[in-house]
Amino acid sequence: MKIALAQQNYHIGNFTANTNKIISAIEEARKQGADLVVFSELSICGYPPRDFLEFDDFINQCNASIDLIRAHTRDIGVIIGAPVRNPVKEGKDLFNGAWLLYQGEIKGIAHKTCLPTYDVFDEYRYFEPAWEWNVLEFKGRRIALTICEDIWALSENPLYRISPMEQLIGQHPDIMINISASPFDYDHDEDRKEVVRANVLKYHLPMVYCNCVGSQTEIVFDGGSLIYNATGELIREAKYFEEDFMLVDLDASATVTGAGDTERRQLDKDMRVSKISDPEKIISYLTAENNIRQIYAALVLGIRDYFSKMGFTKAILGSSGGIDSAVTLAIACDALGAENVRAILMPSQFSTSHSVDDAVQLSKNLGNPYDIIPIKPVFDAFMDSLKPVFGDLPFSVAEENIQSRTRGNLVMAIANKFGYILLNTSNKSELATGYGTLYGDMAGGLSVLGDVYKMQVFALARFINRDKEIIPENIITKPPSAELRPGQKDSDSLPEYELLDKVLYQYIERRQGPQDLISMGIEEALVNRVLKLVNSNEYKRNQFCPIIRVSSKAFGVGRRMPIVGKYLS
């Protein structure tokens, strides 16, 4: 049997675009002689549709798309993802379904059993878990059809009490097909391969694993669909960060031998927290070239898809001569074209001349347009207006924030006037510690580096400069500074980034508590200071724009903390 796999980039709720894309792939699969073509999870409506699923009208539109697609399946099977109305009154009103369409009919539907409800996932918010399991017959083959998370519960410490493959295996399937919407983080591709292979080795069946690709606001799907034969050999691996189309003849490649499952390691719950526990290895792990290269690709796709799906073409950002804005600018130019990214240099009275020179040189290297607008006149006007209220009180964080917000205002004004979208340049270490000004440098429509620690920003800069100097060396080597008061340096307010990022990674990605951190040899006062900074600045992050997610635990929708909480704060 010839199976085609279509790894596609969908737009949530854009039924016309998604349906047309799906029908095109069906035509292509037919042309190439496929018996069956497989699409990813909830491909009909895009993943994650979130609360759109609560609208009856939205489900009706999903069903209308299924009807349109069905008409194209007279001589080819299609496996596709769409919500399914629950026919009984008990339980939630929907299932997350994998539909088998053929001969213009719905031949069968598998419901998802394991509903991820952690991190960025909210599936139990919408869906009832499956309570019955049936192998689907197609052209004499018996398909064990599952959806994404369904195949992830195979460790000795599973997140779910029921494993659908354990239910299906007794019905003697010939093949496993899994349709997924499995997002990127910088070592998730390895986890994914391991999980798919572990299933193949456990059940001695070939597996067709179809993932989607593309970015949906903050969540990047990296593709990398997989086809394994029954012996655990990887037959085909789709492209990462791009659409792809693959065709395999399973009869030619599926040779069952007595492979064991000895290589299977502890998965499941452990996979949901990052795995690097040795504090000495954290920075080298975070900045490893393989991770940085993937992060770069994810950020480019994240920017590009945000703009194309929102209908925007042009970006703007504040370019300070510092490393965060330099890296953001370089990535944005790659994603959107340098001519579509406008840099605004807004020196203050405390900016060094180097800052402007470096930022100018950066834009010359990249070839993007830039303007220089000093902020002192507006800052002075603010201070004059506030004189009756401020009196003779000394310069404080209020004046620093006025400068930062003046910049935010200037760049938003140009954005509003000409239709640019403001890219935010804050990094994860700053967001974690609240080292930023609301409505100032925290302004923006999309955060490029908000899930990238400062040490990783340095590594990204080196990666960007790998062939030639794009980011001026001085930007990389000078001490980080917000330049909001004379001689200011980040290290006046924060621990050195190498130390800070270690603590943050342990706390944020690995959910280690204060005692764990102290027992790793980190000074107690530092632990308490950093954890208090993280928790007491939740209110700032709560108003922050979407962050392109590249780690296993990004700020934003995947990390939900109380604001009025009084824990470690």
Positions marked catalytic: 41, 112, 148
- Taking the complex as a whole, the smallest distance from the CB of residue 525 to a second copy amounts, in Å, to 18
Is 325 annotated in a binding site? The answer is yes
**Could you say which of 57, 132, 278, 467 contacts a second copy (CB under 8 A)?**
57
Residue span binding a second copy (CB under 8 A) among the ranges 7-15, 179-187, 196-204, 449-457: 7-15
Q: Residues touching a second copy: how many (CB under 8 A)?
A: 103
Is there a contact between 189 and 222 (Cβ–Cβ < 8 Å)? Answer: yes
Least gap, CB of 128 to a second copy (angstroms): 8
* Among 187-195, 283-291, 302-310, 471-479, the segment contacting a second copy (CB under 8 A): 302-310
- In whole angstroms, what is the distance from residue 435 CA to residue 459 CA? 21
**Nearer to a second copy (CB atom), residue 391 or residue 479:** 391
Which DSSP state fits 193?
H
How far apart CA 510 and CA 292 sit, in angstroms, is 20
To the question of whether residue 430 is assigned a binding role by annotation, the answer is: yes
Residue 552 lies near a second copy (rule: CB under 8 A): no
218-257: contacts with a second copy (CB under 8 A) = none
Q: Smallest gap, in angstroms, from Cβ of residue 138 to a second copy?
A: 30
Instruction: Determine the interface stretch with a second copy among 30-38, 150-158, 323-331, 462-470 (rule: CB under 8 A).
Output: 150-158
- Within residues 103-122, the interface with a second copy by CB under 8 A covers 115, 117-118, 122
CB closer to a second copy, 256 vs 310: 310
Where are the extended beta strands (E) located within 346-391?
Answer: 370-372
| d(C-alpha 83, C-alpha 63), whole Å | 8
Q: Which of 285, 370, 390, 463 binds a second copy (CB under 8 A)?
A: 390
Contact between 561 and a second copy by CB under 8 A: the answer reads yes
**Cβ contact 323:458 at 8 Å:** yes
> Which residues from 329-368 bind a second copy, rule CB under 8 A?
none
Site residues for a second copy, 176-215, by CB under 8 A, read 215
Q: Nearest approach, Cβ of 390 to a second copy (angstroms)?
A: 6
Q: Give the residue from 107, 59, 67, 80 showing the smallest Cα distance to 10.
A: 80
Contacts of 158 (CB under 8 A, 6+ apart): 268, 269
The structure tokens listed for 473 are 């060396």
* CA-only gyration radius of the chain, Å: 26
31 or 560: CB nearest a second copy: 560
Both tokens assigned to 489? 């340096």
14 labeled binding residue: no
Least separation in angstroms between residue 6's CB and a second copy is: 20
Which residue, 416 or 491, has its beta carbon nearer to a second copy? 416
Q: Is 93 in the site for a second copy (CB under 8 A)?
A: yes
Choices 351-359, 376-384, 475-483, 490-498 (CB under 8 A): range interacting with a second copy: 376-384
Q: How far apart are CA 542 and CA 503, in angstroms?
A: 22
Least Cβ distance, residue 523 to a second copy (angstroms): 18
Chain-centroid distance, C-alpha 70: 32
SS (H, E, C) 528-552: HHHHHHHHHCHHHHCCCCCECCCCC
Q: Which of 21, 70, 112, 405 binds a second copy (CB under 8 A)?
A: 405
Q: Any known ligand binding at 290?
A: no
DSSP 556: B
Cα-based distances in Å from 394 to 385, 387, 390, 398, 558: 16, 12, 9, 10, 41
Q: CB of 459: closest distance to a second copy in angstroms?
A: 28
DSSP state of 2: E
| 401 is an annotated ligand-binding site residue | yes
Q: Is 370 in the site for a second copy (CB under 8 A)?
A: no
In angstroms, the CA 2 to CA 156 distance is 35
Contact between 305 and a second copy by CB under 8 A: the answer reads yes
CB of 438 to a second copy, least distance (A): 8
528 labelled binding-site residue:
no
Q: Looking at 381, 466, 491, 492, which residue binds a second copy (CB under 8 A)?
A: 381
Structure tokens at 387: 């004189």
Q: Is 513 annotated as a binding residue?
A: no
Q: Is 258 annotated for ligand binding? A: no
Contacts of 391 (CB under 8 A, 6+ apart): none
- The Cα-based distances of 517 to 59, 256, 440 in angstroms read 47, 48, 33
Q: Is 444 annotated as a binding residue?
A: no
Q: Is 284 annotated as a binding residue?
A: no
* Strand order across the 141-147 sheet: 136-138, 141-147, 175-179, 207-210, 226-228, 234-237
**One symbol per residue from 504 to 523: x for binding a second copy (CB under 8 A), - otherwise; what is it?**
-------x-xxxx-------
Among 2, 30, 92, 193, binds a second copy (CB under 8 A): 92
CB of 507 to a second copy, least distance (A): 9
Selection from 78, 62, 82 nearest residue 70 by Cα: 78
- What part of residues 522-551 is at the interface with a second copy (CB under 8 A)? 539, 542-546
CB of 372 to a second copy, least distance (A): 9
The two beta strands, 105-111 and 136-138, are unpaired
* CA distance linking residue 345 with residue 330, whole number of Å: 15
Within residues 435-494, the interface with a second copy by CB under 8 A covers 438-439, 443, 445
Nearest to 178 by CA among 251, 113, 124, 239: 113
**Residue 83 interacts with a second copy (CB under 8 A)?**
no
Backbone angles phi, psi at 314, to 5 degrees: -120, 135
- Residue 182 marked as a ligand binder: yes
Strands 341-345 and 315-318: parallel
Contacting a second copy (CB under 8 A), which of 106, 247, 259, 414? 414
Among 33, 171, 393, 493, indicate the residue that binds a second copy (CB under 8 A). Answer: 393
The answer to whether 563 is a known ligand-binding residue is no
C-alpha to C-alpha distance for 34 and 36, rounded to whole angstroms: 5
> Which residues fall within 8 angstroms of residue 389, CB to CB, at 6 or more apart?
none
What is the C-alpha separation between 459 and 453, in angstroms, rounded? 10
Residue list for the binding site for ATP: 318-325, 425
Binding residues for L-glutamine: 118, 182
Q: Which residues are annotated as a binding site?
A: 118, 182, 318-325, 401, 425, 430, 540
